[in-house]
């Protein structure tokens, strides 16, 4: 019986097969259990001989079952280890990374385009005093333009009212002052601006880029050429058409609002071409003009000798037009899916 059982244990190739052998030998009605039961009916002499033999059989079978089971488990573990190799040289999964924001992207594009035209980048503070934001730009205290700007004023006592700058135009004054009144100025000034206003196309914080040229003999022709060259480079199209509409800004005289022509492509307005006809039209993109004498003087230049032009333009709006976004508020939600949708994935 022992030889038979050990043979069966040896042949059992799965945990289930081993269990079956165990039940057949050591279970309630198993063969070894049956032998153990016969001990009760034996004479003491017989039992002295048979007892150790039968108990020995049970121990041998139990040990063989244990060994076989452990052996099978070892084989299974080896197989799993062999199958589950981990290649430490594989590149790791790259977690989603941040990416450049459309506004930053457009600021970079502007800096690059204007660098080619000889413009440096200038900056100024976002918390500005009343003089730089208004007075020096020919907007005196009683001027209605102050009300038009929906200005955020800072609380508390200050030497003069402090505001969150309502436009980048104060950088015109700072750039002229920095240049010292005796050399040409060619700068753009991109940055944050603030007005108390909020809907699909206005956010209380928004971005503008200012442009300023001060030199001798500057005319409206220089302004128009510069804007045309800039917009063609920015929208990457040669068929950009411009319309300068007479307008009013306190700090420029004459002043012009600049429209660019658009055409309709797949139901969407696309900058380039038309301006009128074929369902196209004009879209306002910036304000501009010849720098007012008073402003040139406030910047420390002699307006009898120096002239200039200036323009101011919403950067968020430029980004919307170039990349086809339609709700300005989404710019500041920080939703990576929105960036990805417009092609700004890393
Ligand atoms: N500062 C003006 C605005 O915010 C834009 C502008 C700048 C117009 C420079 C003319 C010249 O609307």
pLDDT of residue 210: 98
CA of 36 to the centre of ligand 1 (A): 107
What counts of helices (H) and strands (E) characterise the chain? Answer: 12, 10
CA of 268 to the centre of ligand 1 (A): 27
Give 114: exposed, middle or buried? Use CB within 10 Å, 0-12, 13-18, 19+: buried
Ligand 1 in contact with 287 (CB < 6 A)?
A: yes
Q: Which atom of ligand 1 is nearest to the CA of 208?
A: 4
- Report how far residue 289's alpha carbon sits from residue 71's, in angstroms, rounded to the nearest whole number: 91
User: What residue's CA is closest to ligand 1, atom 10?
Assistant: 288
User: What residue's CA is closest to ligand 1, atom 6?
Assistant: 312
Give 204-234 pLDDT, tens digit per residue.
Answer: 999 999 999 999 999 999 999 999 999 999 9
pLDDT of residue 96: 73
Point out the annotated binding site.
253
Residue 321 and residue 283 in contact, taking contact as beta carbons nearer than 8 Å: yes
Residue of 164, 169, 290 with the most ligand 1 atoms within 8 Å of its CB, for mutation:
169
Residue of 128, 148, 167 with the most ligand 1 atoms within 8 Å of its CB, for mutation:
167
Q: Which atom of ligand 1 is nearest to the CA of 166?
A: 4
Residue 136 and residue 292 in contact, taking contact as beta carbons nearer than 8 Å: no
Within 10 angstroms of residue 100's Cβ, the number of other Cβ atoms is 13
Q: Which atom of ligand 1 is nearest to the CA of 313?
A: 5
pTM of the entire structure?
0.72
Q: Please name the residue that has the structure tokens 């753009």.
A: 188
Q: Which atom of ligand 1 is nearest to the CA of 168?
A: 1
What's the ipTM? 0.98
Q: How far is CA 307 from CA 134, 235, 245, 296, in A?
A: 20, 29, 21, 8
Ligand 1 in contact with 301 (CB < 6 A)?
A: no
- Tell me: cis bond preceding 254? Omega within 30 of 0 counts: yes
Residues of the chain with pLDDT under 50: none
Ligand 1 in contact with 312 (CB < 6 A)?
A: yes
Q: How high is the mean pLDDT of the chain?
A: 91
Give 30-52 pLDDT, tens digit per residue.
Answer: 899 988 889 888 888 888 888 89
CA of 251 to the centre of ligand 1 (A): 8
């Amino acid at each position: 019986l022992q030889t038979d059982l050990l043979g069966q244990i040896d042949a059992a190739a799965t945990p289930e097969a081993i269990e079956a052998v165990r039940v057949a030998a050591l279970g309630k009605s198993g063969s070894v259990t049956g032998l153990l039961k016969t001990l009760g009916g034996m004479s003491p002499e017989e039992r002295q001989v048979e007892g150790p033999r039968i108990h020995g059989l049970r121990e041998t079978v139990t040990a063989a079952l244990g060994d076989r089971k452990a052996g099978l488990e070892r084989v299974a573990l080896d197989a799993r280890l062999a199958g589950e190799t981990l290649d430490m040289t594989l590149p790791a999964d790259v977690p989603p990374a941040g990416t450049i924001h459309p506004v930053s992207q457009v600021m970079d594009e502007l800096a690059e385009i204007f660098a080619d035209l000889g413009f440096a980048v200038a900056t100024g503070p976002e918390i500005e005093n009343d003089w730089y934001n208004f007075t020096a730009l020919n907007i005196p205290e009683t001027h209605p333009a102050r009300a038009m700007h929906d200005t955020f004023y800072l609380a508390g006592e200050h030497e003069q009212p402090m505001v969150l700058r309502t436009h980048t135009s104060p950088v015109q004054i700072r750039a002229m002052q920095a240049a010292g009144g005796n050399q040409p100025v060619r700068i753009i000034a991109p940055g944050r601006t603030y007005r108390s206003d909020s809907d699909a196309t206005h956010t209380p914080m928004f971005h503008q880029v200012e442009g300023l040229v001060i030199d001798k003999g500057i005319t409206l022709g220089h302004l128009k050429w510069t804007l045309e060259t800039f917009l063609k480079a920015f929208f990457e199209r040669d068929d950009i058409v411009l319309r300068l509409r007479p307008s009013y800004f306190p700090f420029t005289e004459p002043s012009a609002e600049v429209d660019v022509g658009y055409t309709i492509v797949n139901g969407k307005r696309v900058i380039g071409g038309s301006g009128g006809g074929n369902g196209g039209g004009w879209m306002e993109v910036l304000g501009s003009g010849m720098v007012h004498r008073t402003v040139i003087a406030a910047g420390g230049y002699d307006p009898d000798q120096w002239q200039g032009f200036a323009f101011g333009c919403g950067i968020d709006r430029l980004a919307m037009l170039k990349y086809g976004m339609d709700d300005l508020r989404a710019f500041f939600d920080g939703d990576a899916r929105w960036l990805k949708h417009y092609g700004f994935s890393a």
